[in-house]
Amino acid sequence: MENEQVIIVRDLVKKFGDFTANAGLNFHVDKGEIFGFLGANGAGKTTAMRILCGLSSPTSGLVEVAGYNVKTHAEEVKKRIGYMSQKFSLFEDLTIWENMRFFSTVYGMNKTAFKERGEMLLRKLELFEKRNRLVSTLSLGWKQKLAFTVAILHEPSIVFLDEPTGGVDPITRRQFWEMIYEAADNGITVFVTTHYMDEAEYCNRVTIMVDGRIDALDTPAKLKEKYQVNSMNDVFLALAR
Amino acid sequence: MIQFTNISKSFDEVKAVRNVSLSIDEGQLFGFIGPDGAGKTTLFRMLNSLLIADEGSIELFGLDPHKDYKKVRQIIGYMPGKFSLYYDLSIEENLNFFATVFGTTIEENYHLIEDIYKQIEPFKKRHAGKLSGGMKQKLALCCALIHKPKLLLLDEPTTGVDAVSRREFWDMLKSLKSKGITIVVSTPYMDEAGMCDSVALMQNGQIHAVESPKAIVDNFQKELLAVKCNDMYKALLTLRNYENCYNVYPFGEYLHYIDKRDSKPIEDINDCLLKHDLQEIEINPVKPDIEDCFIELTRKLSV
């Protein structure tokens, strides 16, 4: 199906006491899209993403993810998403294969399906021969590629990436984005939060949050044109400064 | 002047720094640019006397960090990657502490930190642990400056800080440089190279190049093309299999493509993409940036 919407957000408001973290957000994300979710520290990104993942409930408004309302069907949402964060994604003292098996169990995959898909993904990553190595012995770049593979192991509709590529070298970084392109090509929607603006340039569309609101939503090219600047960094500075 | 001569350092089997030689002029804003694990922190810790090199020598304004470590520590302001602040002390108490340790007072060198400190002063009674990332970074910088160092050594000061705070931070460094302080800074973010007078591109313990950011870009010999179309992933795979392709990789909204031939290949590439049913094709020559240079230098080394 073309242009099937896998995330629908209408008038999302989230308050903590008197503090409004999300002040009426409206957007949607299409199937297979790479969607960038940007904003300064404290702009409300994490709050919104926790709601999209079914970890927190909106104060008001409608949020549908993978066809389910996050307020009433949070568990159904959780089964259909993957999550990867730079801070925590893998167990350092387990091997590559043990990590994969652990997460396959968390996502309720059956053993045969896991063995087949796990092996296929690891072979593609050229890590299958090294599957019994401890994750702690891998470089940061390999950990990130493996963490992404784990996040899409159960073939989720949407994978959420929280600042995925900080600190790795330019070549590894591009291998990582190729994996993201490939996942999107296979119909997995990719939702990326970051405050590094050059990551935003890889997205099909980006939103920029400022003080709990969405102040901009468009393709990187159109945003740059609108603000008459050459980079997403300058778009961001124009909006957030 | 700061001079590294044939410096190597290993931790068990890991060769963190391999035979590094370079010099940094006094008064420069000098950047070490490289990914995690490149050896930046190890190099910094040898310069500031916290580690001793296995081989080679270091000279810092005429001093040897190993032998003259007491003097060296007095003339360096060091800001480690994880800001070394006391989280259960307030802003003011942290600053006071660092001033006292170095035998000075806040008042004596206030002119150096004034512009930065004014931004966090309204919160001076707040515990450092309760500050935002940007504010911690500003306080840590004040603490590193309070004894009026000759050299400011900043290890990944902008990692994990948002774009607005990053820009402000670089503005602060430029203003400190104008006060005559030599600044050596490391970062994994290639886009920050342009802010430095000179940069060393570093990976796997080795230095790929030491030059001004402009010279690094000018030394890029190949013709670089930016390619865009309706299906970027398919275009990437198509061009990678194209017989004349030297290198192609994603670059933000575009693919960056380098051809094996010297002639301008725009027409050929256009035909190749059209043949594979790609549409809305845009191909333009572009100037390389530091990331392109880094990729090319890495490639040359690995071949």
Looking at the complex, does the CB of residue B191 fall below 8 Å from at least one CB of chain A?
Answer: yes
Strands (E), chain B: 2-11, 14-24, 29-33, 55-60, 76-79, 151-155, 182-187, 198-203, 206-211, 224-228, 245-251, 254-259, 282-285
What are the chain A neighbours of B163 within 8 Å (beta carbons)?
40, 195-197, 233, 236-237, 240
Give the mean pLDDT of B62-71. 94
Which has more confidence, B33 or B163?
B33
Indicate if the pLDDT at residue A111 is higher than 90: yes
Whole-number Å distance between alpha carbons of A20 and A225: 31
Contact A169 B234 (CB under 8 A): no
Distance from CA of B180 to the nearest CA of A (A): 29
Query: A43 to chain B: nearest residue by CA?
Result: B162
| Structural domain range at position A173 | 30-43+78-240
What are the chain B neighbours of A197 within 8 Å (beta carbons)?
163
What are the chain B neighbours of A141 within 8 Å (beta carbons)?
35
CATH assignment of B224-287, among 1.20.1740, 3.30.70, 1.10.3470, 3.40.50: 3.30.70
Q: pLDDT band for position B302 (50/70/90)?
A: low
Q: Which two tokens stand for residue B45?
A: 């810790």
Give the mean pLDDT of A174-182. 92
Contact B37 A140 (CB under 8 A): yes
Whole-number Å distance between alpha carbons of B268 and B249: 18
Whole-number Å distance between alpha carbons of A32 and B56: 53
Contact B250 A171 (CB under 8 A): no
Closest CA to A101 of A141, A126, A132, A129: A132
Indicate if the pLDDT at residue A80 is higher than 90: yes
pLDDT number for residue B171: 92
Q: Which two tokens stand for residue A235?
A: 């778009």
Q: What is the pLDDT of residues B181-225, one digit of tens each?
A: 999 999 988 888 999 999 999 999 999 999 999 999 999 989 999
Task: Judge whether B27 and B197 are in contact, CB under 8 Å.
Answer: no
pLDDT number for residue B37: 85
Contact A169 B298 (CB under 8 A): yes
Return the C-alpha torsion angle A205, A211, A212, A217, nearest 10. Answer: -20
Closest CA to B75 of B51, B104, B34: B104
What total number of domains does chain A contain?
1
Task: Give the residues across from A35 on adjacent strands.
Answer: A191, A205
**3-class SS at A231?**
coil
Q: pLDDT band for position B262 (50/70/90)?
A: confident
Closest CA to B50 of B76, B26, B30: B76
Residues 6+ apart with CB under 8 A from A37: A45, A48, A49, A191, A192, A193, A194, A206, A207, A209
Whole-number Å distance between alpha carbons of B287 and B216: 12
pLDDT number for residue A226: 94
Q: Which two tokens stand for residue B144?
A: 């590193």
Q: Which two tokens stand for residue B46?
A: 């040898």
Q: pLDDT band for position B161 (50/70/90)?
A: confident
pLDDT number for residue A165: 74
A87 falls within a domain: yes
Q: Which two tokens stand for residue A13?
A: 């408001």
Domain B2-218: give its CATH architecture: 3-Layer(aba) Sandwich (3.40)
Instruction: Please give the share of chain A, as a percent, with pLDDT higher than 70.
Output: 98
Mean pLDDT of chain A: 91
Q: What is the pLDDT of residues A2-60, one digit of tens each?
A: 578 999 999 999 999 999 999 999 999 999 999 999 987 778 888 999 999 999 999 99
Write the CATH number for A198: 3.40.50.300
Domain(s) of CATH 3.40.50.300: residues in chain B:
2-218
What are the chain A neighbours of B234 within 8 Å (beta carbons)?
185
Domain(s) of CATH 3.30.70: residues in chain B:
224-287
Mean pLDDT of chain B: 92
Give the mean pLDDT of A67-93. 90
Contact A195 B162 (CB under 8 A): yes
Of A169, A184, A198, the CB nearest to B203: A169
Tell me the Ramachandran region of residue A33: left when phi exceeds 0, alpha when psi lies from -120 to 50, beta otherwise. Answer: beta
Indicate if the pLDDT at residue A210 is higher than 70: yes
Q: pLDDT band for position A148 (50/70/90)?
A: very high
Cβ-based neighbour number of residue A2 at 10 Å: 6
- Cα distances (angstroms) measured from residue A21 to each of A15, A51, A146, A209: 6, 12, 33, 11
Q: pLDDT band for position B248 (50/70/90)?
A: very high
A146 falls within a domain: yes
Radius of gyration of chain B measured on its C-alpha atoms:
23
Amino acid at residue number A162: D
Whole-number Å distance between alpha carbons of B286 and B223: 8
Instruction: Please give the share of chain A, as a percent, with pLDDT higher than 90.
Output: 72
Indicate if the pLDDT at residue A1 is higher than 50: no
pLDDT number for residue B17: 96
Give the mean pLDDT of A160-188. 88
Give the mean pLDDT of B276-295. 94
A71 falls within a domain: no
Indicate if the pLDDT at residue B81 is higher than 90: no
Q: What is the pLDDT of residues B168-185, one digit of tens each?
A: 899 999 999 999 999 999
